[in-house]
Chains A and B, each alone.
Chain A
């Protein structure tokens, strides 16, 4: 036991001696959560649009004013000919063109019916769709103001209640996601090079001839990083509560316990990468190239998992981050307790055991 403590002490020294890495380890997550918390949103704002007005009358002017007054759209230019639309899109600045038909006002008064074409640059389908929806909402609003005097009969009215995030803030989806990504990648990266580094620098031989057992080496490597990551997690949670006003509806203690669990899972994954790679470079490339995009795309951080094709939904089950995102959203936004989250927690525990077991098995006690 004393030997083991000595080993852990050595690991701590190694980490704290490298001041530059330490600075990076603590500084980066803070910088990232601040940056992403503010910058990543799929609400639209100040989208540049162009107008092609064949009618130029009171109604079209009124609609144009309404649209350019909203915070979602900025009127960038007027286009006079259909042929110029293509040109404007190719320059890449405007995202939508509103095309009013001829005699818009006249049609509206005479036939109670007028038509607008909403042309969007759908190279980014999501933005195109959102823009169309927002413009439609503004048009509906205008219609309502014109129809004030008409009473609607035989109508079912739906009252919609948005629960857990009434203002539909995208911060509420993205902050838990960013937190997960940072914890997972930093933890896995840190440990992934720990054993390969010893191999590459030649100090592995010394560890191998020492009486320390394989599992002790592995546990000893993980312990200091648990300590570091817990500090990181705490800082991120504090920032998300105070700066992004994330609520914590559930128990803060449970949030802490689940975070520690997730950190251990990620560290164990890092150790596994470490034991199977020969050089630091390989280990890093696996943890960077192999983990980054799958974790970002398949964890449900940005894209909803339920919309993915069936095979990808199955693959997403093996991404630990997916389960942790469900857990944090549950605790922070829904305020549920462990009785709702035991399944996700068990999966994370199972993954951790698997990773550590595999690492001990793969850990070679002889040099080639």
Chain B
């Protein structure tokens, strides 16, 4: 037992001695949590809007005013011709162009219908879909206004069937991205720090040559590994705590479920990551290799965690791969416990999977660590 304590002491000293590393371990993640959480939003706002009005009638002006009044469209530019508008779109100065053809008003009065052209820059397909939705809303409400003005109320027409749907967004009524992203980004930061630190730790001793010195001491394999990993476990838990406090104080993220449950889960989760880091460490010769491999997995874990894009939309084979993604589990649990208030029995299946993962990863890591070459 004493031996382990000495190793732990040594590791802590080494970490805190390196003045260049301390800000990277603690300040960098916190800054990122506070700043980047604001960036992660899929809301489509400030749409750059332009129009070409060939009609210049009161009806066309009324329509443009409608767009003007909407809060989603903020820059309004009048283009003299279609060519001007499309070159502005190529330059990226405008996202949506409304084109009102000649005789727009006259056709409407004569034929009771009239058409408009709308061009949307669809490179970002998802945003284009949302923009199209906003435009349709505006055009529909414009149609309602027109009906009031032009339609003869005395003429009774057949009333169309109408299904009204009432959306109701549970757990996040205002669709605030921060309640979702702050805990998610915290998960990413805790995972990244613990994986990188543990992944590069033993291989560093290997590269510098001090691992041999450790190997000839009577320290046992398990003692050595526990002593090496424990400090990172503490750092991970510490970072989680700081992050949760900031999430509450700065972002006022709701924490409905039990924090104890969250900490219990995290303590198992970090073991998975540490086991993984150790495993990488054992299979590489230089810090460079360890870093590349850790980077490879972290990028995959982050982008396939379900935090930025939904997992259900991935093809089946990719969903199978995500089963091996620990970050996916942690993001899911954070969401369940903090935002929905899921209890122990709700998260049990996921927690058991994580526990099994921890055993396998650490088993592999211990097995692959050899004291002799």
A residues in contact (CB < 8 Å) with B: 18, 20-21, 24-25, 28, 31-32, 35-36, 38-48, 89-92, 95, 108, 112-130, 132-133, 135-136, 139, 142-143, 146-147, 149-150, 152-170, 172-173, 181, 185, 189, 193, 197, 200, 277-282, 284-286, 288-290, 292-294, 296-298, 302-304, 306-309, 312, 315-316, 326, 329-330, 333-334, 336, 340
Answer whether residue B223 sits at the interface, using C-beta atoms and an 8 A cutoff: no
Q: Using a Cβ–Cβ cut-off of 8 Å, how many residues does chain B contribute to the interface with A?
A: 126
Answer whether residue B182 sits at the interface, using C-beta atoms and an 8 A cutoff: no
- Taken together as a complex, chains A and B put the C-alpha atoms of A181 and B136 apart, in Å, by 35
A42-B313, A113-B163 are known; give 6 further A-B pairs, CB within 8 A.
A20-B289, A38-B318, A113-B162, A114-B162, A122-B169, A133-B133
- Interface stretch, picked from B1-9, B32-40, B229-237, is B32-40
Residues on B with C-beta less than 8 A from A294 are 32, 36
Residues on A with C-beta less than 8 A from B115 are 156-159
User: Can you list the 10 inter-chain pairs with the closest CB atoms, starting with the nearest?
Assistant: A168-B125, A122-B169, A162-B122, A122-B172, A39-B318, A125-B175, A126-B42, A165-B122, A282-B20, A146-B161
Interface-central residue, A28, A90, A147, by most chain B CB under 10 Å: A90
Could you jot down 11 A-B contacts, CB within 8 Å? A40-B304, A92-B340, A122-B171, A122-B175, A123-B179, A127-B310, A161-B119, A173-B123, A200-B208, A293-B185, A298-B39
CB of B39 within 8 A of CB of A142, answer no
B342 to chain A, nearest CB (A): 5
CB of A20 within 8 A of CB of B285, answer yes
Partner of B161, one of A147, A163, A333: A147
CB of B125 within 8 A of CB of A172, answer yes
CB of A164 within 8 A of CB of B121, answer yes
Using known A-B contacts A43-B313, A143-B163, determine if residue A164 contacts B123 with beta carbons closer than 8 Å.
yes
Using known A-B contacts A108-B163, A284-B287, determine if residue A120 contacts B168 with beta carbons closer than 8 Å.
yes
Answer whether residue B212 sits at the interface, using C-beta atoms and an 8 A cutoff: no
Answer whether residue B89 sits at the interface, using C-beta atoms and an 8 A cutoff: yes
Partner of B135, one of A122, A158, A316: A158
CB of A92 within 8 A of CB of B185, answer no
Q: How many A-B residue pairs have CB under 8 A?
A: 371
* CB interface residues, B 204-262, toward A, < 8 Å: 204, 208
Using known A-B contacts A285-B196, A315-B35, determine if residue A116 contacts B165 with beta carbons closer than 8 Å.
yes
- Taken together as a complex, chains A and B put the C-alpha atoms of A119 and B16 apart, in Å, by 50
- Taken together as a complex, chains A and B put the C-alpha atoms of A312 and B178 apart, in Å, by 15
Residues on A with C-beta less than 8 A from B303 are 36, 39-40, 296
Partner of A288, one of B108, B124, B172, B192: B192
A64 to chain B, nearest CB (A): 13
B residues in contact (CB < 8 Å) with A: 18, 20-21, 24-25, 28-29, 32, 35-36, 38-48, 63, 89-92, 108, 112-130, 132-133, 135-136, 139, 142-143, 146-147, 150-151, 157-173, 175-177, 179-180, 185, 188-189, 192-193, 196-197, 200, 204, 208, 284-289, 291-296, 298-300, 302-304, 306, 308-310, 312-315, 318, 321, 332, 335-336, 339-343, 346
Residues on B with C-beta less than 8 A from A304 are 42, 44, 124, 127
Interface-central residue, A41, A160, A312, A330, by most chain B CB under 10 Å: A160
Residue of A nearest to B127 (CB): A304
Residues on A with C-beta less than 8 A from B122 are 162-166, 168
Residue of A nearest to B114 (CB): A156
- Taken together as a complex, chains A and B put the C-alpha atoms of A130 and B171 apart, in Å, by 16
Partner of A32, one of B108, B116, B299, B310: B299
CB of B200 within 8 A of CB of A281, answer yes
Partner of A112, one of B159, B179, B332: B159
Residues on A with C-beta less than 8 A from B180 are 123-125
A307 to chain B, nearest CB (A): 5
A54 to chain B, nearest CB (A): 14
Using known A-B contacts A21-B288, A89-B170, A156-B108, determine if residue A112 contacts B162 with beta carbons closer than 8 Å.
yes
CB of A32 within 8 A of CB of B193, answer no
Residues on A with C-beta less than 8 A from B133 are 133
Residues on B with C-beta less than 8 A from A164 are 121-123
Residues on A with C-beta less than 8 A from B346 are 90-92
Residues on A with C-beta less than 8 A from B176 are 125
Partner of B125, one of A92, A108, A173, A297: A173
Residues on B with C-beta less than 8 A from A156 are 63, 108, 113-116, 139, 142-143, 146
CB of B171 within 8 A of CB of A303, answer no
CB of B286 within 8 A of CB of A18, answer yes
Using known A-B contacts A89-B170, A117-B166, determine if residue A41 contacts B118 with beta carbons closer than 8 Å.
no
Partner of B45, one of A31, A35, A147, A307: A307
A46 to chain B, nearest CB (A): 6
Using known A-B contacts A32-B299, A92-B332, determine if residue A285 contacts B24 with beta carbons closer than 8 Å.
yes
